[in-house]
């Protein structure tokens, strides 16, 4: 069996495990998000490094919710300085900078994403969001985070600063395929995390129909009528979601 087969076998097993073990958590997340949307709240997403890919996964997406606001700063991403972003997410000074631009409030939802869950920015942001009355969902790896110590002044890991935990089930270090020279390759956190988030989005749509409340969803801009549909939503939300327009 080649490494291609091994990776897909590992990932497939994790996807099955995720549905089995995280279904109740996904349902709870969907219901909290649905209640947030029903009451006019905002769903914020945040991640640093590769976690920011998941913060963007459900933002401005065909078939995605319109009231999604990713919390973004280039220094916490990969494209300016990948190595630098690793150091930046450990700096607690980011908290007031982010909250000045993204005013999380009571009734909102924050999805904070960190595989290790140990570094300062995702944890402190989650804890402050809780203090402000937002509902905090942590997307993390419980195998990884429970094997490490925190790297922040609160001495907390992300799952300890959240109201609800989504566990991606990944192994310590994320990479899932072992090689003869001791190398570990093939992270799973992004693929499983995306599946968790998109399943929740689908359930939110279902709940909006079951409960009869309005929840705006984008269409693909590459299907007929998509631009017109999306332009209406962009006009509605551009003033409250930085970067949307």
pLDDT, tens digit, 9 for 90 and up, residues 88-120: 888 889 899 999 999 999 999 999 999 999 999
Long-range contacts of 224-233 (CB under 8 A, 24+ apart): 226/62, 233/66
Q: Would the pLDDT of 223 be above 90?
A: yes
Q: Which two tokens stand for residue 46?
A: 């945040």
pLDDT tens digit sequence for 138-161: 999 999 999 999 999 999 999 999
- Locate 91 and state its tokens: 């700096």
Residues 6+ apart with CB under 8 A from 175: 184, 185, 186, 187
Tell whether the model's pLDDT for residue 137 goes beyond 90: yes
What is the structure's pLDDT at 75?
Answer: 86
What is the pLDDT confidence band of residue 73, given thresholds at 50, 70 and 90? Answer: confident
Question: Which two three-digit tokens encode residue 14?
Answer: 């994790």
Task: Provide CB contacts within 8 A for 232, sequence distance 6+.
Answer: none
pLDDT band at 174 (very low <50, low <70, confident <90, very high): very high
The pLDDT score that the predictor gives to residue 63 is: 96
pLDDT value at position 111? 98
User: What structural domains does the chain harbor?
Assistant: 3-237 (3.40.50.10490)
Confidence bin at 34 (pLDDT 50/70/90): very high
Contacts of 49 (CB under 8 A, 6+ apart): 76, 77, 78, 82, 85, 86, 89
Per-residue pLDDT reduced to its tens digit, 3-19: 999 999 999 999 999 99
Comparing 30-39, 80-89, 118-127, which segment has the lowest mean pLDDT? 80-89
- Mean of per-residue pLDDT scores for the chain: 95
At 175 the pLDDT is: 95
The residue-averaged pLDDT of 165-187 equals 95
* pLDDT-based confidence at residue 122 (cuts at 50, 70, 90): very high
Segments in the chain forming alpha helices (H): 3-38, 51-57, 82-88, 94-101, 120-131, 142-145, 189-211, 226-237
Residue 76 has pLDDT above 90, yes or no: no
Residue 46's pLDDT is 96
């Amino acid at each position: 069996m080649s490494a291609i087969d091994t990776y897909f076998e590992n990932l497939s097993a994790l996807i099955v495990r995720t549905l089995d073990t995280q279904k109740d958590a996904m349902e709870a997340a969907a219901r909290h998000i649905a209640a947030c949307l029903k009451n006019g709240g905002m769903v914020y997403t945040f991640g640093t490094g590769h976690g920011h890919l998941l913060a963007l996964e459900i933002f401005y997406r065909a078939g995605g919710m319109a009231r999604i606001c990713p919390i973004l700063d280039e220094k916490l991403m990969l494209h300016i300085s990948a190595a630098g972003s690793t150091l930046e997410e450990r700096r607690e000074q980011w908290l007031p900078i982010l909250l000045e631009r993204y005013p999380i409030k009571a009734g909102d939802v924050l999805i904070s994403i960190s595989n290790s869950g140990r570094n300062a920015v995702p944890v402190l942001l989650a804890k402050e969001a809780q203090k402000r009355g937002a509902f905090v969902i942590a997307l993390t790896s419980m195998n990884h985070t429970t094997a490490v110590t925190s790297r922040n002044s609160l001495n907390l890991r992300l799952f300890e600063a959240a109201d609800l935990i989504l566990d991606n089930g990944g192994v310590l270090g994320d990479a899932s395929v072992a090689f003869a020279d001791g190398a570990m390759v093939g992270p799973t956190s992004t693929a499983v995390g995306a599946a968790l988030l998109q399943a929740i989005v689908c359930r939110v749509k279902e709940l909006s129909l079951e409960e009869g409340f309005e929840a705006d969803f984008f269409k693909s801009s590459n299907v007929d009528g998509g631009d017109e549909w999306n332009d209406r939503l962009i006009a509605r939300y551009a003033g409250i979601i930085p970067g949307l327009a």
